[in-house]
Amino acid sequence: MRGVVIHAPKDLRIEEVPEELLQPDQVRVAVSVGGICGSDLHYYHNGGFGAVRLRAPMALGHEFSGVVTNVGSDVSHLVPGMRVAVNPSRPCGHCRYCALGMQNQCVDMRFMGSAMRNPHVQGGFREGVTVHASQPLLIDDALSMREAAMAEPLAVCLRAARQAGPLLGKQVLITGAGPIGMLSLLVARRAGATRIVITDVAEAPLELAIRIGADEAVNVSSNDGVLEPYRANKGTFDVLFEASGNQSALVSALDTLRPGGVIVQLGLGGEATLPINAVVAKELQLRGTFRFHEEFQLAVELMGRELIDVKPLISATLPFEQAREAFELASDRSRSVKVQLVFNEIGD
């Protein structure tokens, strides 16, 4: 069995990986499609992000779909042949935060394709994975494997929307038109936002943002003045989804938020310095958002019922043997939003 394994920055290899022994409460899945995430790109380019660093070779990937091939003796709700989206998150279920219903904050979390733990938790960029039976979720027959592989990033954005509170009738600003910013746009529109403005420094994703429903898309590298009207009368926007992880994007957006506005920080880019006086004077509410829990099921349902269409965001799907080419393509924002890898025949 082969996988896409990162050894060090730019040292990405297609190599043999061991197959885990199937336990009674586990399921084996033949991976169909895996999406390249921003964190995968951080491992590829930098060997990690923040304090999280590679300390051993690790199969990347936590956005993936597949087909059940075998189930453990204790598993009754899944059978071979079922098409599934695999939740990469496995909380312990018994720590303080799991007991409080905050499973995304689990102190003993096993999240696939993550170097936070040592030994690292191997990811889904393998021809086959063995996971706990709670992780694969059955997908609708009409949902393609490519779409199903988008469940994880969509779940992240559904969590962010929950942190923001009701969006019905709200004016929303999104900074960063990468996959998370785009999915936040789709979620905000589905939740009833009346006006959505999205900003970025690249033109290509902004053009796509207009096509999928943004009311206005602003290239702040050349048109920062376009946001000036939104700064009038202490600001306009009710909610900011900051999806770039860039300090300047966050700080420059504060003047466009009305007093009492909500900032939901999705982007991870390192430490940031905030003008606290502005936050205090305008009584802005800064809210973090981290991963997801029950939102993964919701993401699968929303896509399966065609209430959210992620297909326009999928820029390219390449064979996993071309992983290096795919990672370089995913790093080029002028050519891609979401790049995926195919591991086994997908039939759609």
Separation of alpha carbons 206 and 244, rounded Å: 13
In this prediction, residue 99 carries a pLDDT of: 97
DSSP label of 118: S
In this prediction, residue 68 carries a pLDDT of: 98
In this prediction, residue 272 carries a pLDDT of: 79
Separation of alpha carbons 343 and 333, rounded Å: 24
Separation of alpha carbons 141 and 202, rounded Å: 36
CATH for the stretch 2-149+310-342: 3.90.180.10
Q: CATH class for domain 155-288? A: alpha beta
pLDDT tens track for 29-77: 999 999 999 999 999 999 998 889 999 999 999 999 999 999 999 999 9
Q: Which residues contact 332 (CB under 8 A, 6 or more apart)?
A: none
Q: How far is CA 154 from the centre of its chain?
A: 6
pLDDT tens track for 110-151: 999 999 999 999 999 999 999 999 999 999 999 999 999 999
Separation of alpha carbons 41 and 86, rounded Å: 20
Where do we find the tokens 């091939």?
69
Q: What is the pTM of this model?
A: 0.96
Q: Containing H/E element for 42?
A: helix 38-46
Name the 3-class secondary structure at 175: strand
Separation of alpha carbons 187 and 191, rounded Å: 6
Say how many Å lie between the first and final Cα of the chain, rounded: 23
Q: Residues spanned by CATH 3.90.180.10 within the chain?
A: 2-149+310-342
Residue 346 above 80 pLDDT?
no
